[in-house]
């Protein structure tokens, strides 16, 4: 049709909560599936700031063989006891392998005693157990070099989780400032302030700073512990994140500067209006002279006016009487 503009239709999408229900996943399972790349999401073009799932993506997942069991198996997580049973090793050996960084947690939660409970992908544990290169770690005596690290107190579970979670979040960040804010979320505020000196840039980073994955009330002890787990403490890890943040902020500056408050423009002071001289009439002059005369002081207390005496005339009239010349011969 001539004169008309073709506007392509947007793909039909649904919210993450509805997509999880249609796929038969819990909220945590759905979020993990998105992080692992099992479910593709798109930005919310309606301005909500979240992520949405296209209807075509839901159709693709439902058409896979073994749905929904195969999808659930890919996001199944287990704790230490269940993971050790899955690998057919003692729970103590499982914990040592995790502390050494050989088993990387994918999630965590804080129990009612505020103790950290690490969760691992069941599929990854199964693959580790069947790998021939890992057989010496599952049976027999732990190698000497690894026993030395354990004796020194090494525990890489939190650090490895941070690295993995950072990768998850960076894959979803589509804006340079969002990527910089994601990196900043894993550093202490003093570290961020040392790299990003501009307070307006730091405020802009905070807009994209992802929250800790534990859904506790802000300011609660549980939320504080979750923030501690999300913050890098080792010097080498913090140095690497500082370098990544500096690079990310430099890239973000080149893409778009951080917003700043508009300068306030004060209105120029108004010049006083010119006073035009008006002709002074005799009546105005008389009132002006009368107003300029000082008021007569009251008579002293106890002073009586003599009978028949007239009160002195005040103001301009009295002054005129004094100035009036007497007739000759009087």
Share of the chain above pLDDT 90, in %: 59
Distance CA(24)–CA(221), nearest Å, equals 33
As a dihedral over the C-alpha atoms of residue 48, residue 50, residue 56, residue 60, rounded to 10 degrees, the angle is -170
Q: In the predicted model, is pLDDT for residue 6 greater than 90?
A: no
pLDDT tier for residue 266 given thresholds of 50, 70 and 90: low
Closest CA to 27 of 161, 156, 215: 215
Tokens representing residue 133 in the block: 């290169």
Q: What is the pLDDT of residue 325?
A: 53
Per-residue pLDDT at 306: 42
Structure-token pair, residue 191: 């570290």
Q: Which pLDDT score, from 0 to 100, does residue 22 have?
A: 94
- Residues whose CB falls within 8 Å of the CB of residue 52, separated by 6 or more in sequence, listed in order: 13, 14, 15, 16, 19, 41, 42, 43, 44
Model confidence at 297: pLDDT above 60: no
152 pLDDT exceeds 70? yes
pLDDT at 277 over 60: no
Residue 290, pLDDT > 50, answer no
Q: Does the pLDDT of residue 118 top 50, yes or no?
A: yes
Mean pLDDT for the stretch of residues 277-285: 47
**Which pLDDT value is given to residue 50?**
76
Residue 149 has pLDDT above 90, yes or no: yes
Share of the chain above pLDDT 70, in %: 74
User: What crossing angle do the helices spanning 315-323 and 282-292 adopt, rounded to 10°?
Assistant: 100
Cα–Cα dist 314/293, whole Å: 9
State the residue for tokens 């230490």. 80
Least confident of 124-128, 236-240, 285-289: 285-289
State the DSSP string of 223-274.
HHHHHHHHS--SHHHHHHHHHHHHHHHHHHHHH-PPP-PPPP-PPPPPPPPP
Write down the pLDDT at residue 213.
79
* Rounded Cα gap, residues 123 and 75, in angstroms: 8
pLDDT at 51: 86
Q: Does the pLDDT at position 245 exceed 80? A: yes
In sequence order, the β-bridge partners of residue 108 are 118
pLDDT of 195 over the 60 cut: yes
DSSP secondary-structure letter at 293?
S
Report, as an integer, the average pLDDT of 109-132: 93
Could you tell me which of 224, 240, 155, 229 has the C-alpha nearest to residue 191? 240
pLDDT score of 122 more than 80: yes
Digit-coded pLDDT (tens) for 165-191? 999 999 988 889 999 999 999 999 999
**What pLDDT is recorded for position 319?**
47
Q: Evaluate if residue 330 carries a pLDDT over 90.
A: no
Given a cut of 70, whether residue 124 has pLDDT beyond it is: yes
Pairwise CA distance, residues 126 & 184, whole Å:
34
The first and second tokens of residue 81, run together, are 């006891």
How would residue 287 be classed by pLDDT, with cut points 50, 70 and 90? very low
Residue with the bigger pLDDT between 54 and 3: it is 54
């Amino acid at each position: 049709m001539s004169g008309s503009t073709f506007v392509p239709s947007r793909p039909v999408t649904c919210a993450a909560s509805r997509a999880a229900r249609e796929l038969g996943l819990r909220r945590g399972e759905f979020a993990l599936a998105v992080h692992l790349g099992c479910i593709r999401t798109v930005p919310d073009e309606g301005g909500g700031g979240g992520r949405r799932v296209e209807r075509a993506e839901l159709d693709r997942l439902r058409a896979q063989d073994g749905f929904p069991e195969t999808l659930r198996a890919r996001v199944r997580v287990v704790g230490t006891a269940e993971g050790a049973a899955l690998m057919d090793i003692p729970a103590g050996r499982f914990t040592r392998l995790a502390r050494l960084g050989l088993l990387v947690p994918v999630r965590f939660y804080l129990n009612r005693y505020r103790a950290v409970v690490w969760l691992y992908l069941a599929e990854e544990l199964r693959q580790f157990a069947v790998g021939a290169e890992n057989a010496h770690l599952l049976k027999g005596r732990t190698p000497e070099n690894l026993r030395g690290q354990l004796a020194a107190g090494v525990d890489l579970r939190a650090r490895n989780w941070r690295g993995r979670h950072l990768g998850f979040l960076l894959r979803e960040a589509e804006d340079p400032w969002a990527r910089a804010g994601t990196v900043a979320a894993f550093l202490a505020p003093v570290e961020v302030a040392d790299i990003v000196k501009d307070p307006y840039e730091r405020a802009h980073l905070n807009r994209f700073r992802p929250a800790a994955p534990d859904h506790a009330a802000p300011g609660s002890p549980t939320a504080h512990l979750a923030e501690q787990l999300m913050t890098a403490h080792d010097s080498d890890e913090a140095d690497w994140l500082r370098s990544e943040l500096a690079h990310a902020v430099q890239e973000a500056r080149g893409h778009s500067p951080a917003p700043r408050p508009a300068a306030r423009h004060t209105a120029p002071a108004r010049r006083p209006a010119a006073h035009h001289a008006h002709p002074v009439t005799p009546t105005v002059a008389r009132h002006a002279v009368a107003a300029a005369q000082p008021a007569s002081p009251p008579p002293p207390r106890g002073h009586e006016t003599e009978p028949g005496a007239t009160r002195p005339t005040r103001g301009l009239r009295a002054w005129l009487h004094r100035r009036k010349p007497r007739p000759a011969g009087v």
